[in-house]
Structure 1
Amino acid sequence: MRLEDPMRRKSKLITVAIGVVAITGGGLLVASEGGAVLRVATGSVSRSLCSAAFVSNVDPGRVFREEQVPEGGMSYVAWALRYDINRTKREVRATIAGAFASRAAYRNGLGCLLVADSSAIPEARGLAETSSRPTTETLPVAYSHDARIARAIERAFEDPAPNKQRNTKAVVAFHDGRLIAEKYAPGYGPDTPIWGHSLSKSLTSALVGVLVREGRLSVGQPAPIAAWQQPGDLRAAITPDQLLRMTSGLPFDERGGPVNHMTRMFFLEPDTAAYSESVPLDATPGTAWGYSNLGYQLLSRMVRDAAGGSGVEAEAYIREQLFAPLKMHTAVIETDVAGTPIGASHVYASARDWAKLGQLYLDDGVANGHRILPDGWVEYTTKQSLDTGYGAGFWLNVKNDGVVPYWDAPWGMPQLPKDMFYARGYLGQFIVIVPSRRLVVVRMGMTHLGVGTGVGDLVAEILRSLPPTVPDQPASNQS
């Protein structure tokens, strides 16, 4: 099935989107916007390897080989790309043919920041080292002894063919709030923060829910974006609901060549939200669906502004309101130079911690006895947006026809129950939530186009191995 890497179009762009570069006779012949293309490439490498080295604490060389090189333009210029990891300064620099330099620097508590090569690094005073925070597992553990579950998880780590590597890094399964199974690749473990890519959008949706619960934001009112409030600007009517549902009219931002709205925003712009608010609409708000990293960066700035306006204040707010109540002790959300959390893409957390986010939604927004999300938020989140398989920050399993525009991939997983909904991210990151069976499954990896993660079959096999669900009994009418 083509479902297994629904973001295959992104694979050709972010990995790293330099197919317009041709190699000739010992030099680089660069097409239009070639300099920007190559800065996207070095920006992607420096940031990714910085986070690998100093957030995840995994082998950055292996991450480079598995994440950056396998496909797209990078494989053609890898011979000219150099990166330097400075563990004393905790930063990574990358160049192509000695030029187009990018630098990413680690900051305590805020992960890695992509900056211009000679720019000063904004301080992150007031944040403790992420690695010093407690990581003791607090959820109940009830490991399953079912051999079928064990075998299903083993298969998730197997490669379909010698030349098709899944690079699965972690699988975690919760049933009824209990950890029933888990497995990790060498170098990864229960406390390894793993890049969630667009799982981050689902977490950002939860943060918007927190603002709604506090009465600080209404999803149905026009979004608080000053730049859109000019007379006659159609964007003035865009709501946070439309941004969450990707129906704002902003363009499908992962199309348009190697330097598109997504890659420009992430790798070339110091203020991601300012860039996002400058992008013209492709459609009248509320009439069309388009995958939107831009919209989620605008939502992320709303979180930052509600927290006080700085990256440090935003991190403290996110930790207090979400990470701490969920006991997501490994979680890190990176920012741009303007201090806006990169809630569209750059959250790192262990597979167990990602599963805790899924458990929050399985438990209707309540964690450890405390309401985190407003009453009814999960139902709101899983309401279908237009004629799509998308809700408000999560993918749904309600649409059997058609494909995701531009990706040519199915909307859902037909082998799983209709009430299933899920978060998914580039290179095969998944949080699969099955309310009717009280199951959450997380799969993390670095799986490229044409390989397939097998996540739908993995979850289906786990479901077949669980005891049948007992239907709720009607309340007694006895006096």
Structure 2
Amino acid sequence: MKKILITLSITAAFLIAVPPYFLGFSIFNLGHAVQVGTSLSAKLACSARYVSGFDDQQIASDLSSYSPVTELVELQWSESPSQVSANLFGLAPTVATYRDGIGCSLDHDEGFDLDSLAVQKTEIRPDVEWPRGSLVTTINSELQSTLDNIIQQDNEQGLNSRAMVVVQDGKIVAEAYGDNTHPETPLLGWSMAKSVTAMMLGRLELEGKVSRDTSGLFPEWNDERANLKLHDLLQMSSGLTFDETYAPGSDATYMLFTAPSASDVAMTSPQGYKPSTHFSYSSGTTNLLSRYIQQLLDNQPQNTMNFLTRELFAPAGIATATFETDPSGVLVGSSYLYASGRDWARLGLMMAENGEINGYQVLAPEWVEAASTPNNSDNEKAYGYQFWLNRGDEQLRWPSLPEDAYAMMGNRKQSVMVIPSEQVVLVRLGWTSGEYPMEQNYKDLLQSM
């Protein structure tokens, strides 16, 4: 077992001495903060190594961007089985395990037998043009030059852009990659997974297995929540209360880093607003959607994996994607989908083409239209079915982009921008902890077309 110590030149005594706010947590949540620090480190390090293929230095840098606490976490690597163990000065020991096709999940005593799951990977031909295959012969030299300049400037400024892909009229016309990344590197989309979770429900609807007007979603909801419709959850306007703050002690951190079942956390959320009246961005809501998908598929994790591959990934030619589960075997639909820049672009292209890709009608055009239509909430209408919209509120979200633009978006400034009027899809994957000039960069790319 290879041992790596990720540390700053400070001691445990300094950890106690420095103010809690410097470490990124309240002293009242110290116990949970330590657990979150080790769990986050183990989970992200495991996926970074065994899914994305990053080295120790890259992993340490990525973790440190979240909290100084992670720089004090000791990581131990095991290749057989593929695991990462983490502890903080011997406290809160945590293990994350990698499984081929399944990715990494935190080990938990209360969990599903994830070793029993199998994923059939999509095979695509290297001699067939993208998106059906992996051959790309349609690069626009002028546009490629613009994109090369953007990613170079990004990384000179420390913005850490890793993959950028431009699709026009169904073809890749420019793509660029940062250090340690190539066209097949699976990269974490964070909350872009939410959009894909919605697309799974769109596929289930086309197959006649669900309706957006369905209510009585969960047997556990035998109160006013029984009136909630699937439509309400898709638009983040269910009115359920969920603490999306990413700090120790919150619903969100408990859900992602300590709970054996991510959806269990949101399942207990009380009704705070009348359905459809109040938009509230909630990763918990998306994990309820993941749970509902599995419920529709007979509560069998293997059925969910089979459906995902057969009905969504395979028709699109997506071969690099890994959608990870929580310890209970339910997809973490809010956060844990890894895919290459080209595969994220395939997902965007499916939306841009009204649900069709490679000759397959994966989603109904009516569903795609509804997914990109503003909601009816009182406070923020520019959000569809787990997609951020440019239109819907008094001002455009991205004033310099076409009004019909909408996007998958995720932490660290991930984005897949779909612009139907231009038949364009723009992808950016990276690891930016601060601001990122997405709108300006996408505007420059559009002007170069």
Question: What's the TM-score, normalizing by structure 1?
Answer: 0.83
> Does residue 172 of the first structure (1) align with residue 157 of the second (2)?
no
Which residue, 65, 72, 86 being the options, matches 2:78?
86
Contact 2:388 2:407 in 1 (8 A): yes
Check whether the contact 1:51–1:106 (CA below 8 A) recurs between aligned residues. yes
> After the TM superposition, which parts of structure 1 deviate over 6 Å for at least 4 consecutive aligned residues?
26-30, 118-121
How big is each residue's C-alpha offset from its partner over 1:94-128, in whole Å with a ceiling of 9 and x where there is no partner? 11111111111011211101123x77872433525
Aligned counterpart, 2:448: 465
The answer to whether the 8 Å contact 2:144/2:173 transfers is: no
Aligned 1:298-447 pairs, distance under 5 A: 298-385=288-375, 386=377, 387-399=380-392, 401=394, 412-447=397-432
CA distance in 1, matches of 2:125, 2:194: 23
Alignment of 1:110-189 (within 5 A): 110-116=102-108, 122-125=113-116, 127-128=118-119, 134=124, 136=126, 138-139=129-130, 141-159=136-154, 165-189=158-182
Counterpart code for 1:207: M
Change (3 A) 1:391 1:320: same
Local SS of the residue matching 2:28: coil
Query: What's the CA shift for 1:234?
Result: 1.8
Counterpart position of 1:472: none
The alignment partner of 2:259 has SS state of coil
- Aligned residue in 2 for 1:234: 224
What residue identity is the alignment partner of 2:241?
P
Q: Give the Cα–Cα distance (whole angstroms) in 1 for the partners of residues 364 and 397 of structure 2.
A: 26
Structure 1 residues 92 and 121 mapped into 2: Cα distance closer, same or farther (>3 Å)? Answer: farther
- For the 8 Å contact 2:146–2:448, the answer to whether it is kept is no
Instruction: Give the whole-Å Cα distance in 1 for the aligned partners of 2:269 and 2:288.
Output: 12
Letter in 2 for 1:127: A
Query: Aligned in 2, Cα 1:128/1:261: closer, same or farther, shift over 3 Å?
Result: closer
Question: Structure 1 residue 308: deviation in Å?
Answer: 3.2
Q: How many residues align?
A: 425
| 1:108 paired to 2:97 | no
Q: CA deviation at 1:179?
A: 0.8
C-alpha distance in 2 between matches for 1:129 and 1:217? 25
2:437 equivalent among 454, 458, 463:
454
Cα distance in 2 between the residues matched to 1:391 and 1:138: 32
* Larger RCO (CA within 8 A; separation ≥ 6): 1
CA distance in 2 between counterparts of 1:119 and 1:392 reads 32
Say which SS state the counterpart of residue 23 (structure 1) adopts. Answer: helix
Whether contact under 8 Å (1:175, 1:439) holds in the other structure is yes
User: For 1:27 and 1:422, how far apart are their aligned partners in 2?
Assistant: 39
For residue 3 of structure 2, what is the aligned residue in structure 1?
A: none
Task: Identify the match of residue 48 of structure 1 among 2, 24, 44.
Answer: 44
CA contact (8 A) 2:313 2:319 kept: yes
- TM-score between both structures, scaled by the size of structure 2: 0.88
Aligned 8 A contact 2:138 2:172 in 1: yes
**Cα separation, 2, equivalents of 1:95 and 1:413:** 42
2:51 counterpart SS class: helix
Cα displacement (A) at 1:412: 2.1
Identical-pair percentage: 28
* SS of equivalent residue, structure 2 residue 172: strand
Distance 1:311 1:154 in 2: 44
Q: How far is 1:313 from its partner?
A: 2.2
Gaps of 5+ in 1: 1-20, 403-410, 467-479
The Cα shift of 1:46 comes to 0.6
Report the counterpart of residue 70 of structure 1 in structure 2: 65
**Structure 1 residue 235, shift from structure 2 partner:** 0.9
Q: CA deviation at 1:400?
A: 5.9
Structure 1 residues 123 and 144, CA gap change in structure 2 (3 angstroms): closer
SS of 1:58's equivalent? coil
Please give the per-residue CA displacement for 1:148-194, whole angstroms capped at 9, x wherever unaligned: 5422442234248x7x5111000011110111111111211111111
Closer, same or farther in 2 for the Cα pair 1:250/1:286, shift >3 Å? same
Structure 1 position 355, deviation (Å): 0.4
- Report the residue type matching 1:380 in the other structure: A
Residue 91 of structure 1 aligns to which amino acid in structure 2? Answer: Q
Cα distance between partner residues in 1 of 2:277 and 2:267: 19
Q: Return closer, same or farther for 1:320/1:188 CA change in 2, 3 Å cut-off.
A: same
State how far apart, in whole Å, the 2-side matches of 1:272 and 1:172 are: 32
Assess if the C-alpha contact under 8 Å between 2:344 and 2:427 holds in 1. Answer: yes
Partner SS state of residue 463, structure 1: helix
For structure 2, the 5+ residue unaligned runs are 1-12
